[in-house]
Amino acid sequence: MRRREFIALIGGVAAWPLATRAQQPERMRRVAVLVGNAESDRVAQSWLAAFRDALSKLGWTEGSNLRIELRWSADNADKMRALAPPVGEILAP
């Protein structure tokens, strides 16, 4: 084997782990939205549609690289507190 062939072979083997890492699927991100309105509220639905549209324009597509979790409290403060997880749970993967 010639020197140039050997260097090319070693270079290709060294780059192989980088190529493998680049082909892994994109990580799914999770966004939790706590809405103070009822799910049937048209204003809240309009806001949510605008929110999804803005995320889409930034490259975040629900179902491919983003999961949106909706929680509706229907103007009930006790229900809102119950739906909001403690801070430690928010930071957990």
d(CA 61, CA 55): 7
Look at 42 and 14; give whichever has higher pLDDT.
Answer: 42
Neighbour tally for 73: CB within 10 Å:
19
Helix (H, G, I), strand (E, B) or coil at 43: helix
70 band by pLDDT with thresholds 50, 70 and 90:
very high
Look at 46 and 92; give whichever has higher pLDDT.
Answer: 46
Find, among 65, 81, 82, 73, the residue nearest to 30 by Cα. Answer: 65
State pTM to two decimals.
Answer: 0.62
Neighbour tally for 72: CB within 10 Å:
19
Look at 3 and 28; give whichever has higher pLDDT.
Answer: 28
User: Mean pLDDT across the stretch 19-25?
Assistant: 58
User: Mean pLDDT across the stretch 32-61?
Assistant: 94
